[in-house]
Structure 1
Amino acid sequence: MTGSTILPQSQQHYLVITALGTDRPGIVNTITRHVSSCGCNIEDSRLAMLGEEFTLIMLLSGSWNAITLIESTLPLKGAELDLLIVMKRTNANEQQATPNTLWVKVDVQDSPHLIERFTDLFDSQEMNIAELASKTQPALGDNPPRLNIQITAHGPAGWPVEQIEDTFHQLCTELKAQGSISIVNHPQNQEKDGVI
């Protein structure tokens, strides 16, 4: 978190920014320094390298003046750095009741539609996908490319834990994937783990 003033949440304003451009040394520091100079706090951030491009996503908070200042100055800073900048105002994320959290990791031989198969699985169980990361590992010698997937999802109370575990294991078996699943039931603080 950056900035010097902490406002009550009711007085905070929020902005999501995405910066996309060619990676080079110092570029992330330049952006974060500019955010700080405008008086904004970095609430959350993600950075990823995609090909030769980097993407930085940040959730900023601050007073109305601080958010307005970053909205008016960041496009100019982006132009100096040859970055594509996208910004959108948002609200604080209301903490909804999500008593069940699920993490899965999958390692599988790469082929089309694999990520879709797993997102379909969570959608069919009425789960909200909170985070998804995937990375293709290139072929090594005679070994074909591998795909690594990590997903975090949330489910409501009364959610059938055994059903999602069984469905996940069946999908991994069908795809000849190595998969692990970890489920935390927050109210009872009970954790279940399974690896296939």
Structure 2
Amino acid sequence: MKQSLVFTAIGKDKTGIVSELTKLVWQFGCNIDDSRMGIFGDQFSIIMLVSGTKSAINQLEVRLPLLAHSMQLLTIIQRTHSLGMELSDDQVTVEFSGKDAPGILKEVTEFFARRDLDLISLRSKADKRTEKISSQLIFKLSDEISLETLKPEFNHLCEQLSISGKLLHI
């Protein structure tokens, strides 16, 4: 029976971190089901969902902190269950951009949370030089909300926030 764990690692950015982490996952015959990484200032951050046999996950759970310590990374490791949140027909991608201002991302995420839509993925970047924000979010649609209902409401929100936005059905 497959088991899953999610881990987060953060530390000073240096070449080879992802290579070492993925090598360890591979050594135990585990699979990387999902991952996100980024560089924030001079700090590296990664979150990874890994699956494998019970024995493999047990071994990875023991060895991962040792590798992370040797690379001066802080880690959090947690067992989890796969929820089958792969890309499917009931998901929508939200993209928006515009002049950056405090609260824009809060307003957009709150808009979808009030409609009980599950946020699956979020990527947002504010460019200090141009003072622009660019974001992409992926939500799981509910049976009660349709894309046709969301579009005009989201367009109205974009007008209120003075941003450009669009909804794309995946």
Task: Give TM-score scaled by structure 1 length.
Answer: 0.80
Higher alpha-carbon Rg:
1
Match of 2:119 in 1: 129
Match of 2:166 in 1: 180
Match of 1:4 in 2: none
> What SS class does the counterpart of residue 152 from structure 1 fall into?
strand
Match of 1:155 in 2: 141
Q: 1:45 aligns with which of 35, 47, 50?
A: 35
Higher relative contact order (CA 8 A, sep 6+): 2
| Structure 1 runs of 4+ with >6 Å offset | none
Match of 1:13 in 2: 3
Q: 1:168 aligns with which of 142, 154, 157?
A: 154
Q: What aligned pairs does 1:87-126 form with structure 2 within 5 A after superposition?
A: 87-94=77-84, 100-126=90-116
| Cα-to-partner distance string for 1:39-79 (whole Å, 9 max, x where unaligned) | 22212111111111111111111111111111111111111
> What SS class does the counterpart of residue 25 from structure 1 fall into?
coil
- Whole-angstrom distance in 2 between the partners of 1:62 and 1:99: 27
Q: Which runs of 5+ in 2 are unaligned?
A: none
| Cα-to-partner distance string for 1:26-51 (whole Å, 9 max, x where unaligned) | 11111111121222221211111111
Residues 44, 59 of structure 1: 8 Å contact kept:
yes
Residues 89, 169 of structure 2: 8 Å contact kept:
no
Match of 2:66 in 1: 76
- Whole-angstrom distance in 2 between the partners of 1:169 and 1:18: 35
Equivalenced residue count is: 169
Residues 15, 59 of structure 1: 8 Å contact kept:
yes
Change in 2 beyond 3 A, CA 1:61/1:79:
same
Change in 2 beyond 3 A, CA 1:65/1:154:
same
| CA RMSD across the alignment | 1.8
Supply the AA of the counterpart residue of 2:149.
Q
Q: Which runs of 5+ in 1 are unaligned?
A: 1-10, 185-196
Most deviating of 86-95 and 168-177: 86-95
Residues 104, 181 of structure 1: 8 Å contact kept:
yes
- Whole-angstrom distance in 2 between the partners of 1:74 and 1:37: 11
What's the % identity of the aligned pairs? Answer: 30
Task: Give TM-score scaled by structure 2 length.
Answer: 0.91
